[in-house]
Chains A and B, each alone.
Chain A
Amino acid sequence: MIPAAFDYHRPTDMAGVLSLLSEHGDDARVMAGGHSLIPLMKLRMADVPHLIDLQDVEGLSGIDVGETIRIGAMVTQADIIDHTGLTASAPILREAALQIADPQVRYMGTVGGNVANGDPGNDMPGLMQCLDAQFTLVGPDGERTVPARDFYEAAYMTERGDEEVLTSVSFAAPKGGYAYEKQKRKIGDYATAASAVQMTKDGGTCTSASIAMTNLSDTPIFSENAGAALAGSTVDETAIKAAVAAALADIDPTEDNRGPVAFKMHVAGVILTRAITRAWSRA
């Protein structure tokens, strides 16, 4: 499997990346870890006459942990798993990263690549919606931020312009209990259904809940109604059932080699129930 020929660029700063993007337009694409892009190029499903490798670009790595957490686009899934400060402050990231792919892929796959890719199977986009993260994009007109919850338009279609590069994700340090629950056919597989949940509580009452889902529509889905069904409740069986029903009403899975629609709805229900129960037990 040999990809079509391309020109390779390895700029060392963002100005270099942006000038290549504006020079080559549609013919240029950035590459982070390459573990989504290279397989597509090998299958000739992606044609990239100008490949811009981001590995030497300054300022895209690093994890800052404070009231706001900022993760550079080139931080890998392995970096997330190993970062004790991040794990102490936002443990859901490590829990999710450990469920992505396999060790080799996690050394290479980056946060930026995972969230910018736009594949509904990627796990980080749903996670970022649960955390209400902001994505920072840099382009010819400067920098802007887009909420993760507004970023995804359809499979492989995002709010990012062709000449923009995602430089970091940031979000407020989450509070309370968390869970990233994922059903897959085998280790290393994309989700049949997955869900990210963060919940806070006061006494025995849930004060807030944020619920997002992976690979159950052509984009990640944040379900405001599911969260609302739990807030103010004691998270008893009735409340959980209401939240799951609300979440299922927001998704639109399609039949594929992971199963028919009815099966996916069933699995989604199971995953959501587990994720809510686990997050609540940790709140």
Chain B
Amino acid sequence: MADKMHIKLTVNGTEEEFLAEPRELLIYTLRERLNITGPHIGCETSHCGACTVTIDGKSVKSCTMFAVQASGKDITTIEGLGTPDALHPLQEAFKEHHGLQCGYCTPGMITRAAKLLEENPNPTEEDVRFGIAGNLCRCTGYQNIVKSILAAAATMNADASSSSDAIGQTKVEAAE
């Protein structure tokens, strides 16, 4: 039996330290050890994307990484993206545009979409479909998921341009 190892992760801004066997998959660490149950187990075979989290800026299927591999890294799950009172624009858009039915795929889908929009803030419909190809949904037929992501992109861009207007405004005021 392999010795347990000391593992240190930052999950949604909180440092977590524990001892675990090297064979412990990250999805189990999150769900069962840390009680972070947003990331789901769908297929457990690296195909469905329900377990998607962001690790040091990459979308990763956490059923296909050992916790010890992630030691020292920064992890964001759906729990780190918004709160019930202040939803992330993607969460708001999924709610508004019926981007979910049973909701099983949703945490992975939104976590992936957040990364996609960070890399490509102005995606076309095709970019969105290609960018979420690693996330399967058995309910929606994807139509409303794509719609939600495009709507969130529009909101986020509008927010960004109004806040950069605001910055511009302050600069003008400062110059005066």
Contact = CB atoms under 8 A, between A and B. Distances in A.
Contacts of B45: 1, 39, 42
A274 interface: no
Contacts, number: 77
A160 interface: no
A41 B23 CA distance: 9
Given A103-B134, A104-B112, A104-B134, A78 B44 contact: no
B133 A188 contact: yes
Contacts of B132: 103
Interface string B19-49: 0011101000000000000000000111101
B66 A38 contact: yes
A42 B64 CA distance: 9
B81 interface: no
A164 to B, nearest CB: 23
Given A104-B60, A107-B58, A6 B133 contact: no
Contacts of B21: 5
Contacts of A102: 49, 133-134
A264 B144 CA distance: 36
Contacts of B64: 34-35, 38-39, 108
Contacts of A2: 23, 25
Please classify how large the interface on chain A is, using the bins under 10, 10 to 19, 20 to 34, 35 or more: 20 to 34
Contacts of A39: 45-46, 64
B44 A1 contact: yes
B6 to A, nearest CB: 11
A5 B133 contact: no
A238 interface: no
A47 to B, nearest CB: 12
B137 interface: no
B172 interface: no
Interface string A80-116: 0000000000000000000001111101100000000
A34 B23 CA distance: 13
Interface string B43-65: 01111010010000011110011
A4 B24 CA distance: 10
A78 B49 CA distance: 17
B2 A103 contact: no
Given A7-B3, A39-B45, A104 B23 contact: no
B61 A104 contact: yes
B121 to A, nearest CB: 16
A155 interface: no
B134 A34 contact: no
A7 B22 CA distance: 7
Contacts of A188: 47, 133-134
Interface string A256-270: 000000000000000
A187 B132 CA distance: 11
Contacts of B101: none
A6 B68 CA distance: 12
A117 to B, nearest CB: 14
A55 interface: yes
B158 interface: no
Nearest to B65: A34
A78 B58 contact: yes
B157 interface: no
A105 B134 CA distance: 8
B56 to A, nearest CB: 10
Contacts of B166: none
A11 interface: no
Contacts of A4: 23
A78 B55 CA distance: 14
By Cβ-Cβ distance, the 7 closest A-B pairs, closest first, are A102-B134, A8-B22, A107-B58, A104-B134, A5-B2, A102-B133, A187-B133
Interface of A: 1-8, 34-35, 38-39, 41-42, 51, 53, 55, 78, 101-105, 107-108, 187-188
Given A5-B21, A51-B22, 20 more contacts: A4-B23, A5-B1, A6-B22, A8-B66, A8-B68, A34-B66, A35-B64, A38-B46, A39-B45, A39-B46, A55-B69, A101-B134, A103-B133, A104-B61, A104-B112, A104-B134, A105-B46, A108-B58, A187-B130, A188-B133
